[in-house]
Amino acid sequence: MTDTLAPTTVVPPEHDVPSQRRVVTAIPGPKSVALQERRAAVVSDGVSSALPVFIEKAHGAILVDVDGNAFLDLGAGIGVTTIGHTDDAVVAAARGQLGDVIHTLFTITPYEEYVRVAELLAQHTPGTHAKKTVLVNSGAEAVENAVKIARKYTRRAGVAVLEHAYHGRTNLTMAMNFKAMPYSVGFGPFAGDVYRAPNSYPLHDGLSGADAAARTIAYLEKTVGASDLACLVVEPIQGEGGFVVPADGYLPALQEWCTANGIVFVADEIQSGMARTGAYFASEHFGLVPDLVLSAKGIAGGLPLAGVTGRAEIMDAAQPGGLGGTFGGNPVACAAAIAVFERIEQDDLLAEGARIEKALKPALEGLQAKYPVIAEVRGIGAMIAIELADPETHAPRADAVSAIAAAAAQQGVLLLTAGTYGNVLRFLPSLAVTDAQIADAISVLDDCFAAL
Ligand code: PLZ
C-alpha cells in the first residue's frame, strides 16, 4: 500500500433504528401529511415521490419516518445505499473528512482521496490494462463525460444506445433514454447523433444472444454505419428498464463488434455496479472488459459521487482542462467511497449478492407458481425483478405493479417499480438486508398478491 491515508477506525455507534418494519400510523402518517402540504407549496411539482413518507432516520435496510413508522427498504434509494443506510464505516470516514477539508476543487489544488478512489476503480473495474478515471457528481454526468471522451478519442459523433435504456436527466442523457414519459416529454430540443437499437429482452424477443446481437448490429450498420459511431453505451443489466438480463453471448458479441470497428464500448454500471450483483461490476458476469466503465450510486454509500474509468489511452484523449467541474470528486464523497471499497474487501460483501439472490429468487419463483400474473423472475445478486403481465394476453400489468407496491407500503415494505410499461417490481435492497427481512417481505408480498 503506497497511500498515506489513515485507515478508518470505526467505533460502532448505537443506532436508534429498529431491525424490523413497524407500522404505527396510517401511511402516510399525520406528520408526513403535514410536511407534504408544506412541500407542495414550495417544491416543484416536477419532483414527485413514490411514497410521500418523510424519512428522519435510517440504518441498514430500515427507514424510519417522522411518524415513527419503520420501513423495510428494498430500494436503497434506487441502489445507492448498497452497503446499508448510515453504514458505520462510511459515516466515520465522512465525519473525519469533514473536519479535515471539505472542498478545494481538485482542478485547483488536488488531494489524495481523489487519487485513491481512482486507484481503487482501476483495481476493481474489469480488465488488467492501464486505467484512468475522472470523478464527477452524478450518474448522468458520468454518461455525459464518457460520451465527450469517446468522441474526442474517436473523432466521431455517433452515440449508440439500446431500447429500454436509461441514462439520466441531462440534455444529452434525455436523448439517450428509451422512455419519453416522464423523462423528456416537453423538455426538448434534444441532442442529436444518438441512435437507439433493439436490445436483447429474452422474455419478449425469444432470441438467442447471437441472434439478438446480430439484430442490434445490423440495425446500427444500416441506420448509422459503424464508422460514424464514437461509442455504444449499454447497461449490462438494464436498471430502470426493469432489470432486463440479456441472453447469453449478447453483450460479448456487441463488444467484439465495437472492438473490430473502433467503437468505444461503454458499460453504464451506475445501477448494476459496486458489489450490487455479487461482483464489483455486472460486466464480469458476462465476461466483458468494457473500454469505459461508469460508476455512481453505490460508490460512496449515499454521498454524491460518480466516475468514468477506462483505458488510459482513451481517457487521456481529453485535453488538459477538458474535464472537471466544481464539485466533482468532492473530498467527503471520496472519503466515503474509500470506506465503501474497504468494507467490500474487509467484510467480503461480494458474497452478500449471492446470499440475497439465494434467499430472494426461489421465494419469488414460489410466488410465481401461485400467481400467474408474475410472468418472469429475473436478475442477479441483489438486483432481482418480477415482470407482471396478463397470463392470457401478455399485456403489461402496470396496474397490478402499482397496486402491489402501494399495498406493500401500507405494510411497511418499500418496493420500487420499473419497466418501460411500469410493469416491473424491482428488489434492489442494500447488502445489509437479512434473510429474515427478505422472508418477511415475501410473506407481505404473498398477502398483497392474494388480495390483488
Ligand atoms: N444510468 C443505469 O440507473 C439513475 C434514476 C432516478 P443519476 N437511475 C435512477 C431518477 O428518477 O432520477 C441512472 C441509472 C443508469 C444513469 C443513471 C443516472 O444517474 O445519478 O441519477 O444522474
pLDDT value for 15: 85
Residues 6+ positions from 132 with CB-CB distance below 8 Å: 118, 122, 309, 310, 312, 315, 316
Per-residue confidence band for 1, with pLDDT thresholds at 50, 70 and 90: very low
269 within ligand 1 shell (Cβ under 6 A): no
- Residues 422-431, mean pLDDT to the nearest whole number: 98
| Domain 30-86+349-451 in this protein, CATH class | alpha beta
Is pLDDT of 327 > 50? yes
387 within ligand 1 shell (Cβ under 6 A): no
Our CA angle for 219, 224, 229, nearest 5°, is 110
Which CATH number is 91-346 given?
3.40.640.10
Is pLDDT of 378 > 50? yes
- Residues 131-150, mean pLDDT to the nearest whole number: 98
235 within ligand 1 shell (Cβ under 6 A): yes
Angle between helices 435-451 and 350-370 (to 10 degrees): 20
**In whole numbers, what is the pLDDT of the chain averaged over residues?**
97
Residue 140 Cα, ligand 1 centroid: separation in angstroms?
A: 7
- What does the buried/exposed string (b/e) look like for 403-421 if buried means 16 or more CB atoms within 10 Å of the residue's CB? bbbebbbebbbbbbbbbbb
pLDDT value for 3: 55
Percent of the chain with pLDDT over 90: 96
Among 5-9, 288-292, 314-318, 343-347, the range scoring the smallest mean pLDDT is 5-9
Per-residue confidence band for 14, with pLDDT thresholds at 50, 70 and 90: confident
Task: Ligand 1 pocket test: pick from 159, 183, 238, 271 the residue with the most ligand atoms within 8 Å of its Cβ.
Answer: 271
- Residues 388-407, mean pLDDT to the nearest whole number: 98
239 within ligand 1 shell (Cβ under 6 A): yes
241 within ligand 1 shell (Cβ under 6 A): no
Residues 6+ positions from 154 with CB-CB distance below 8 Å: 229, 230, 231, 262, 263, 264
Burial of 30 (0-12, 13-18, 19+ CB in 10 A): exposed
Is pLDDT of 7 > 90? no
Is pLDDT of 9 > 80? no
**Domain range summary for the chain, segments of one domain joined by +:** 30-86+349-451, 91-346
Residue 280 Cα, ligand 1 centroid: separation in angstroms?
A: 18
Cβ atoms within 10 Å of 124's Cβ, excluding its own:
19
Percent of the chain with pLDDT over 70: 98
54 within ligand 1 shell (Cβ under 6 A): no
What are the tens digits of pLDDT across the range 267-315? 999 999 999 999 999 999 999 999 999 999 999 999 999 999 999 999 9
What are the tens digits of pLDDT across the range 165-209? 999 999 999 999 999 999 999 999 999 999 999 999 999 999 999
pLDDT value for 13: 74
Residue 10 Cα, ligand 1 centroid: separation in angstroms?
A: 31
Per-residue confidence band for 10, with pLDDT thresholds at 50, 70 and 90: low
